[in-house]
Amino acid sequence: MVKRAGGDVTAPAVGEGRRGVVVGGVAVGLAGVVALHGVIPNSPGRVGSLVESFLPWSGVAVVLLFVVALVRRSGVGLVALLLPVGVWVHAFGGLLLPAPGADTGARELVVVQHNVSDENPDPAGTARALLAAGGDLVALEEVVVPALAVYEDVLRDDYPHHVVRGTVGLWSKYPIRDEQLVDIRPRAFEDGWSRGLRAVVRTPYGDVAAYVAHLPSVRLGAGGLASSARDESARMLGEIVRGEEVKTVILMGDLNSTVDDRGLHPLTSQLNVAERGFAFSYPAALPLARIDQVLARSADVSHIRTLPATGSDHLPVAARVTLDPLPPSGRLAP
C-alpha cells in the first residue's frame, strides 16, 4: 500500500481496491447465475431458458475473471472467485470425470443417438460410422426417403430388429415388440408432423421401453428464444413417459435443448441424465451444446461421449446405460 508523508492512501491504491471490488462483484454475480438460474424469469424472450442452455460455459467466464484478477493483482477478486469456482464444480465438475471402468457384471447397454440430418450427403458412411460404436441400440432422427433404405441396408446385419415412425427410427440387436407412434405434435403444427416412437426392447436384462423423439426446433431472434413449441412437445412427451408401465425406460433423441434448460423439466424431473461427459453435439462444426440426449428411468446414464463427425450437422453421441440391479431373488419383477 502506498502512502503520502502524512499517511494518506494514494489514489492509485484506492483504484486498485475498487478494481478488486468490481472483479469480486462480477464473480459473486456469476456464482448467483449458476446456482440460482431457476429464478431467472423466462419472460420476455425466454431469457431463463437461454441462459440455462449455455450454463456450462460459465466456466469460461470464471477463467477470464481469474486472468483479470491476476493481471490487476487483486487479492479481493481472487478470493471472491472461490465462490463461482465452487458453485461450478458442484454443478458440472462430475461431468469432467473420466468414464468409469468396465464392469463385467453390470447390467449395461450401450446406446447410440444421432440426428443424421435430412440433407446428409453420405447416409451410408454415416451408418458405417455408427456401426463402429458397437451400440446395442441405435436411435436416429431426420430419417427420410430415400436415405431410409440406405440405413436399413447398412445396419441390417448388426441390427436385425428396427422400427421407423415418421422421421425417427430405432435399430436394435434385440427383439422389438409393441412398437407404436408417440404423438408429441404441438397443436399449431400440421397433421403430418411425426417425430416420436415407442417400442419395448427385449434385452438380456429384461424389457426396456425405448423412446425416440425429435422435439421441435428453437430459434434465437430479436425477440429472444422462440421455444414454445419445443416446450409444449416436451410436456406431452413427459406425460406419456410418466404413464409408461414398463419399469425401465430409455429416452433417446434430439431434444433441441440441454438438460439444464427448464424447457425439458417435464422429462429431466423424472429421468436420470448423464453423470459424466459433456458431449457437446451441436453444431458439428463448432459444438457449443449437447442437445442430443440419452435419459433413463430405473437406470443410470453413467457416461456419454461424442463420436466422430458424419455428414450431419450434429455429432453422434454414445452413452453407457447401467440398469438397476435385479431384485434379491435374482429374478425380474413382473
Q: For cell 453407457, what's the residue? A: 320
Rg for the chain, CA atoms, rounded: 24
Angle at 321 between CA 101 and CA 252, to 5 degrees: 140
Quick one: what percent of the chain has pLDDT higher than 90?
A: 81
For the chain, the first-to-last Cα distance in angstroms comes to 74
Tens digit of pLDDT for each residue in 151-209? 999 999 999 999 999 999 999 999 999 999 999 999 999 999 999 999 999 999 999 99
Residue 77 or 323, more confident: 323
For the stretch 2-36, pLDDT in tens is 555 555 555 555 555 666 788 889 999 999 999 99
- Residues 162, 192 contacting (CB under 8 angstroms): no
- Residue 288, classified by CB atoms within 10 Å of its CB into exposed (0-12), middle (13-18) or buried (19+), is middle
pLDDT in tens, 223-280: 778 899 999 999 999 999 999 999 999 999 999 999 999 999 999 999 999 999 999 9
Q: Where are the domains of the chain?
A: 11-96, 108-323
Contact 31, 81 (CB under 8 A): no
Rounded Cα gap, residues 13 and 20, in angstroms: 11
Rounded CA separation 84/28 (Å) = 7
pLDDT, residue 328, reads 56
Q: Answer whether 0.75 is exceeded by the pTM.
A: yes
Q: Which of residues 242 and 221 earns the better pLDDT score?
A: 242
How confident is the prediction for the chain on average, in pLDDT?
91
SS (H, E, C) the chain: CCECCCCCECHHHHHHHHHHHHHHHHHHHHHHHHHCHHHCCCCCCCHHHHHHHCHHHHHHHHHHHHHHHHHCCCHHHHHHCHHHHHHHHHHHHHHHCCCCCCCCCCCEEEEEEEECCCCCCCHHHHHHHHHCCCCCEEEEECCCCCHHHHHHHHHCCCCCEEEEECCEEEEECCCEEEEEECCCCCCCCCCCCCCEEEEEEEECCEEEEEEEEECCCCEEECCEEECHHHHHHHHHHHHHHHCCCCCCEEEEEECCCCCCCHHHHHHHCCCECCCCCCCCCECCCCCCECCEEEEEECEEEEEEEECCCCCCCCCCEEEEEEECCCCCCCCCCC
> With bands split at pLDDT 50, 70 and 90, how would you rate the model's confidence at 331?
very low
The CATH fold assigned to 108-323 is Deoxyribonuclease I; Chain A (3.60.10)
